[in-house]
Chain A
Amino acid sequence: GEDVEQSLFLSVREGDSSVINCTYTDSSSTYLYWYKQEPGAGLQLLTYIFSNMDMKQDQRLTVLLNKKDKHLSLRIADTQTGDSAIYFCAESIIGSSNTGKLIFGQGTTLQVKP
């Protein structure tokens, strides 16, 4: 079945780059996403990438997609303390019923030290 895997924790120093990795199993995914969850809040879409792309850049965020290895990464440049949060990788499953369901990874807690 569909599965999305992430490491659970990453700690970096303020100003460094952070790289959060994710692997997924469903090769039919059309979109892959990164959601951010700040303490006490719901998830918010940070960025997404269409499956026919291999890179997307948005200010400090760079998303890399390796379809062959089913690997997705999120790089945050110049990481700030405000980036401390849980980051979820997700894939969109488009089945015959076009459900648009999302399968989420376990979430990576990013700790940014001053």
Chain B
Amino acid sequence: DADVTQTPRNRITKTGKRIMLECSQTKGHDRMYWYRQDPGLGLRLIYYSFDVKDINKGEISDGYSVSRQAQAKFSLSLESAIPNQTALYFCATSGLAAYNEQFFGPGTRLTVL
């Protein structure tokens, strides 16, 4: 079984709809992250969390919110989706190793029409 899972894997929605992307991990890591990937722009950090009570904004948090329901679960919400939020979204986790390796989920491809 995969260590970091994301649901759904693909989603098509309409402008103005509320969307939730979910991430679960079995690695026992405290740190979790949400990124979006756009062609030619690489990965940009949306939000990150160091434990259940800790939520931090990344570089592009506007239009997004997150919830850390448990150590293993970190969900990303788009309250009112807009077309420029069409992207590939990745969840990642990391442990306490000094070199901070991040382990990525398979991604969710979101299309906002």
- A residues with CB within 8 A of B: 4, 6, 8, 31, 40-45, 48, 50, 88, 92, 99-102, 104-107
Contact B40 A31 (CB under 8 A): no
Does B74 belong to the interface (CB within 8 Å)?
no
B12 CB-CB contact with A under 8 Å:
no
Q: Is the CB of B90 within 8 A of A102?
A: no
Please measure, in the bound complex, the distance between the C-alpha atom of A104 and the C-alpha atom of B44, giving whole angstroms: 7
**Interface flag for B75 (CB, 8 Å):** no
Indicate if B100 sits at the interface (CB-CB under 8 A).
yes
With A42-B4, A106-B42 as known contacts, state yes or no: A31 contacts B105, CB within 8 Å: no
> How would you classify the secondary structure of chain A's contact residues: helix, strand, loop or mixed?
strand
Residues of A contacting B104 in the complex (Cβ-Cβ under 8 angstroms): 42-44
Is B105 a contact of A92 with CB atoms below 8 Å?
A: no
**Are A8 and B102 neighbours in the complex by a CB distance under 8 Å?**
no
15 residue pairs from A and B, CB less than 8 Å apart: A31-B100, A42-B92, A42-B105, A43-B43, A43-B90, A43-B92, A48-B101, A50-B99, A100-B94, A101-B45, A101-B58, A102-B45, A104-B44, A106-B42, A107-B42
Do residues A88 and B40 form an inter-chain contact, with CB atoms below 8 A? no
